[in-house]
Amino acid sequence: MDSAISAGGWVCLLSPLAGAVAIALAGGRISRRAAAWISVLTTFVAFGGALVVFVGLWAADPSDREHVSTAYTWLSAGNFDVELQILVDTLSSTMMLIVSGVGGLIVWYSVGYMEGDDEERRYFAYMSLFVFSMLLLVQAGNFLLMLVGWGLVGLASYLLIGFWHHKPEAVAAAKKAFVMNAIGDATFALGCVLLIWSTGSLEFGDVFGQVDSLSSTTVNLVALGLLGGAVAKSAQIPLHTWLPDAMEGPTPVSALIHAATMVTAGVYLLVRASPIFEAAPDVQHLAAIIGAITLLVAGVVALVQWDIKRVIAYSTMSQIGYMFLAAGIGAYGYAIFHLMTHAFFKALLFMTAGLVIHHLDGEQDIRKMGGLRSIMPRTHVAFAVGGLALMGIPIFSGFWSKDGIVSAAFASGDALGYTLYVAGLLGALLTGLYTTRLYFAVFRGEPSEFVKEHAHEGHGEGPRSMTIPVGVLTVLATIGGLVVIPGVWEPFLHWIDETAEPLVQATVAEDYGTSAIAVSLALIGFYLARRAYEKGRQFVTNPGIWRVLEHKLYFDEAYDALFYKPAAALSVALRRNVEEPVVERSLDEIGSGTIQVGGEVGRVQSGLLRTYAVAVAFAVCVLVVVFVAVR
Amino acid sequence: MDGPDVGWYLIVAAILFGIGALGVMMRRSPLIVLLSLEIMLNAANLTLVAFARQQGNLDGQIFALAVMAVAAAEVAIGLGLIVAMARRRVPLDVDQASALRG
């Protein structure tokens, strides 16, 4: 059984890599379709591997659900070894299933979405590379290997955001995403260095075993470093500005990387490194506070956006805020649970948005949409399911996970817990508002002129390769939450608890009480948004506030003024005052000085052989005298 | 040890070296310059052999043989150059071959 689990883990990890390499090496020798199907197939093979691992672990004794498989020693320096090893336990096997499963569906969807693009092969090679990187991140058995996966997903994200490199905005967005992520990568790496310095190891087991013996300063610094990485990767305030811009990439990329998997890597890190964060409770609470702030700010900003994908992007930030909140108060099971249900319904929302965009020839502005319900009935149902799950309406998956997080905040007690609780409930209201606003603007009402122009009869809602994955995700978004019913059966939570023991546990009464409040708030949000839609109004009527929100609270402008402008001014000043007068002029001086000296010295070279002979003889005589005299 | 003291040999070698050096420095014909060089080399050879005899080992003599071989090669090249100069009607005067003037 052990060998099957390890083999499944390696197959899962390496299959997408093989796909990416095969597509890259085959190049023009295979058709675009073939490249697409290689990518789909290898991702589903990875899903098969993940299933083997999951079933193997499920069947195993609970005490035997942690398997480390080492390929070889990758790096060895004195007593410090880093091995190329994968760790499969309950947490990573769950993540493997989510990444490869949802990833496979989205790659499949891409087959239809990207059809006809000039560079499909490149796209699918990048997609496979991304799936590999993400699997490496979740399967890594030590912090260094995780950091490698961490960097690789950033690279894949950069490549895919800038996939349409003829669009200047896409290239700018890709660079922005890379730079913001690099900040997080740097703090993560610093945390790792500190761990090597203080514990002499990067292996999860070793490190977590030694956490208690470390000084509190060290633990706090390490936790801060890891939190910095998580905040950047998961687009939390203040390193969130890259995510909305990342919507310049193809829509399946937004679904896979910027909703379902990569952006949740931060949550995975918080849960995986929970022993470190528990030893640094202040930092852990900071994570919860960051999550709460992000979920509120992103929810408010989502109210005023006009781009269909940007609204969903802000909603993603907001939902990841919930996950950070959960991980920050120690409700690890619910953090991963919400990660999973969010992967289902957010991927679904992005994919239905992709169907709409595909149908309307690339239009993303919701002001031009409307009335699509009659034109795209099946897409409408899928979007509605995604929206209901996002709002947390009972039965749908988001209901079980989000309310669990909010009630855990209540159960954790004290001032912080209650504040987070209120923030979570306000977030539920905001979610209801922006989701309903988006739904009504796109699907309800009479078809707009623009829609009538572009929606031709017989166009269909999309090719089968797009509609089947959407169908599967619709089912998952509906029933995917039924693995946790508080008080009745909670296998999912127990499964995650084996890896990360939760710090808080809400009672059943708290759970259902919170649910009642959250659902009524979401319904109030729905009602308000609907009334506003029917009256043709927006929620934010004050033009000043509207402007502030439309500029996303001026984060970009502030960073521009705080970091970019001073750095650029400093560069210009250095160029003018140091580079030009000092460096360049001194180089000129060295050059012309050498030429001048050469001219003077050149006169010694008379070209007369006999003069040289005299000079040699004279020099020898001088040397002899010196030699004798010195001795 | 038989024969004159090593000092005498050194005096003879010094005189020979001086003659050679003066020849290199003062004469203008490349042929004579070459000849003077040979005299200097042989002066050096004489000291080598003299010291070898005084020390009672063969190192100096072997080294003198090596110098002779080098000298022979050098003469071959030098004479070749002079012949080439004569063929191209370059004046046989080292003072006029001053193309290396800086």
**Is residue A1 pLDDT above 70, yes or no?**
no
A608·B94 Cβ contact <8 A: yes
Q: Is A569 buried (19+), middle (13-18) or exposed (0-12) by CB count in 10 A?
A: exposed
Residues of B whose CB is below 8 A from A617:
21, 25
Bridge-based pairing state of the strands A67-77 and A80-88: antiparallel
How many C-beta neighbours within 10 Å does residue B31 have? 13
State the pLDDT at residue A341: 92
Checking if the pLDDT of A594 tops 90, the result is yes
Beta bridge partners of A140: A86
Rounded to the nearest 10 degrees, what angle do helices A168-199 and A216-233 cross at? 160
Among A131, A115, A137, which residue's Cα sits nearest to residue A15?
A131
CB contact under 8 A, B98 and A608: yes
Q: How confident is the model at residue A267 (pLDDT cuts 50, 70, 90)?
A: very high
B26, B33, B98 member nearest A606 (Cβ): B98
Would the CB atoms of B25 and A603 count as touching at under 8 Å? no
Whose CA is closest to A287, among A330, A319, A258, A243?
A330
- pLDDT for A398 equals 87
Nearest CA in chain B to A600: B102
In this predicted structure, the answer to whether residue A456 has a pLDDT above a threshold of 80 is no
CB contact under 8 Å between A613 and B24, yes or no, is yes
Per the document, the length of chain A is: 631
How far is A241 from A235, CA to CA, in rounded Å?
7
- Assess whether pLDDT exceeds 60 at residue B1: no
Taking residues A184-210, report their average pLDDT. 88
The residue type of A305 is: Q
**For residue A370, is pLDDT > 90?**
no
Dist. CA A40–CA A284, nearest whole Å: 38
Residues of chain A with a CB closer than 8 angstroms to some CB in chain B: 601-610, 613-614, 617
On the question of pLDDT at A459 being above 80, the answer is no
ipTM (interface predicted TM): 0.83
Comparing CA positions, the residue from A522, A556, A628 lying closest to residue A301 is A556
Q: Compute the distance between CA of residue A45 and CA of residue A586 in angstroms, rounded to an integer.
A: 63
Name which of A604, A607, A610 is nearest B25 (Cβ-Cβ): A610
Of the listed ranges A216-230, A460-474, A531-545, B22-36, the one predicted with least confidence: A531-545
Q: How far is B99 from chain A (nearest CA, A)?
A: 6
- The answer to whether the CB of A337 falls within 8 A of the CB of A417 is no
Instruction: Give the type of residue at A224.
Output: L
Q: State CA A487 to chain mean position distance.
A: 33
Q: Does B1 touch chain A (CB under 8 A)?
A: no
Task: Output the pLDDT for position A361.
Answer: 80
A168 and A187 Cβ atoms separated by less than 8 Å: no
Rounded average pLDDT over A200-218: 86
Residues in chain A with CB shorter than 8 Å from the CB of B101 are 605-608
- Mean pLDDT confidence for A468-478: 91
Given this model, what pLDDT does residue A216 score? 86
B33·A614 Cβ contact <8 A: no
For A612, nearest residue in chain B (alpha carbons): B25
Residue type (1 letter), A291: G
Q: How much is the average pLDDT of A468-481?
A: 90
pLDDT at residue A133 above 60? yes
> φ, ψ for residue A142 (rounded to 5)?
-145, 170
Q: How many angstroms away from the CA of B2 is the closest CA of chain A?
A: 31
Q: What is the mean pLDDT of residues A343-357?
A: 90
Q: Is the pLDDT of residue A350 over 70?
A: yes
Answer whether residue A198 shows pLDDT above 90. Answer: no
Q: Is the pLDDT of residue A200 over 60?
A: yes
Mean pLDDT lowest among A34-43, A178-187, A451-460, B12-21:
A451-460
**Which residues in A lie closer than 8 A to residue B39 (C-beta atoms)?**
none
Provide the 3-class DSSP secondary structure of residue A198: helix
- The pLDDT score that the predictor gives to residue B9 is 92
* DSSP secondary structure string for all residues of A561-573: IIIIHHHHHHHHH
pLDDT at A152 over 90: yes
Does residue A113 surpass a pLDDT of 90? no
Partner-chain residue, chosen from B21, B25, B99, that has the shortest CB–CB distance to A607: B99
| Minimal Cβ distance to A605: which of B21, B26, B100 | B100
Nearest-CA residue of chain A relative to B27? A610
What digits encode the pLDDT tens for the residues A380-432? 999 999 999 999 888 898 888 888 888 888 888 788 888 999 999 999 999 99
Give the integer Cα–Cα distance in Å for A222 and A188: 8
CB distance A329 to A281 below 8 Å: no
- The confidence score (pLDDT) of residue A248 equals 86
Tell which of B17, B39, B92, B95 to mutate to test the A interface (max A CBs under 10 Å).
Answer: B95
Residue B44 in contact with residue B67, Cβ under 8 Å? yes
Name the β-bridge partners of A365.
Answer: A307
Using CA coordinates, name the residue in chain A closest to B17. Answer: A617
> Are residues A613 and B25, on separate chains, in Cβ contact within 8 Å?
yes
Please indicate whether residue A483 or residue A187 has the higher confidence score (pLDDT).
A187
Three-class SS state of A369: coil
Answer positive or negative: Cα dihedral of A23, A28, A30, A33.
Answer: positive
pLDDT value at residue A363: 83
Is the Cβ–Cβ distance between A43 and A119 less than 8 Å? no
The model carries a pTM of: 0.79
CA pair distance A467, A461, nearest whole angstrom: 8
Rounded Cα distance between A525 and A519, Å, is 10
Q: Does residue A330 sit in helix, strand or coil?
A: coil
Look at residue A38 in the predicted model and tell me its pLDDT.
92
Mean pLDDT, rounded, for A125-140: 92
Strand (E) or helix (H) holding A75: strand A67-77
Instruction: Provide the H-helix boundaries in A200-246.
Output: 204-210, 216-233, 242-245
Q: What is the arithmetic mean of pLDDT over B67-82?
A: 93
Query: Touching check for B24 and chain A: CB below 8 Å?
Result: yes
Q: Which of A6, A568, A114 is nearest to A357 (CA)?
A: A114
Tokens of A263: 């952006």
Angle (CA) A288-A291-A296 rounded to 5° is 130
Phi first, then psi: give them for residue B84, nearest 5 degrees: -60, -40
**Cβ <8 Å between A609 and B33:** yes
* SS3 of residue A76 by DSSP: strand
Residues of chain A neighbouring B100 (CB-CB closer than 8 A)? 605, 607
Q: Which residue has the tokens 């922005």?
A: A176
CA proximity to A167, closest of A245, A253, A235, A106: A245
The token pair at A341 is 């249900």
Question: Which residue would you say has higher pLDDT here, A366 or A593?
Answer: A593
Q: Using one digit for the tens of pLDDT, what is the confidence trace for A65-87?
A: 888 888 888 888 877 888 888 88
CB crowding A408-437: b at 16 or more within 10 Å, else e = bbbbbeeebbeebbebbbbbbbbbbbbbbb
> Which residue from B94, B97, B102 is facing A603, i.e. has the nearest CB?
B102
Cross-chain Cβ contact A607/B102 below 8 Å: yes
> Averaged over B4-23, what is the pLDDT?
92
pLDDT at A123 over 80: yes
pLDDT at residue B94, rounded to an integer = 83
Least confident of A243-257, A424-438, A529-543, B35-49: A529-543
